[in-house]
């Protein structure tokens, strides 16, 4: 399962462009880390909400893929993010967690944390619906 997730992630141009990487794969959960770089910030120096949301979307999508049968694929149907605090840290960690996986639709929780030294702050939280695409 982990190999399938990592191979799929490696094909994502946006994640490669952002410099994101998967740091944990487990049944129903995936963590993605994004290190701070000037290119990822908004005008106040915090991580841009687009980068924050992008890694959350991918973490949830791959969390869902961990519970799908081999050969299946996943597409996001919708997601909503609440930005709770400025994303100020040395890196962000997005955690996607499957809440319920059905035959067709899966719902995931999305949490994004900013880390600076010993401080870990929840900066965004959301929910996502995904659809399983079975091989033909």
Q: What tens digit of pLDDT does each residue of 4-32 get?
A: 999 999 999 999 999 999 999 999 999 99
Residues 6+ apart with CB under 8 A from 86: 44, 46, 114, 123
Range of the domain at 66: 2-133
Token reading at 62: 């791959």
pLDDT at 76: 98
Per-residue pLDDT at 44 exceeds 80: yes
- pLDDT tier, 135 (very low <50, low <70, confident <90, very high otherwise): confident
Relative to beta strand 21-26, strand 29-35 is: antiparallel
- Residue 89 sits in a domain whose CATH number is 3.10.129.10
Q: Give the residue from 64, 66, 49 showing the smallest Cα distance to 125.
A: 49
Total structural domains in the chain?
Answer: 1
pLDDT at 42: 98
Beta bridge mates, 57: none
SS3 68: coil
């Amino acid at each position: 399962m982990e190999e399938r997730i990592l191979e799929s992630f490696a094909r994502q141009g946006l994640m490669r462009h952002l410099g994101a990487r998967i740091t944990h794969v487990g049944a129903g959960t995936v963590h993605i880390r994004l290190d701070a770089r000037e290119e990822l910030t908004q005008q106040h120096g915090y991580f841009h909400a687009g980068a924050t949301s992008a890694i959350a979307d991918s973490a949830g999508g791959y969390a869902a893929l961990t519970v799908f049968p081999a050969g299946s694929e996943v597409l996001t149907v919708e997601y909503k993010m609440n930005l709770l605090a400025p994303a100020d840290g040395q890196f962000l960690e997005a955690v996607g967690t499957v809440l319920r996986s059905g035959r067709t639709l899966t719902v995931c929780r999305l949490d994004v944390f900013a880390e600076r030294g010993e401080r870990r702050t929840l900066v965004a939280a959301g929910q996502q619906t995904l659809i399983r695409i079975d091989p033909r």
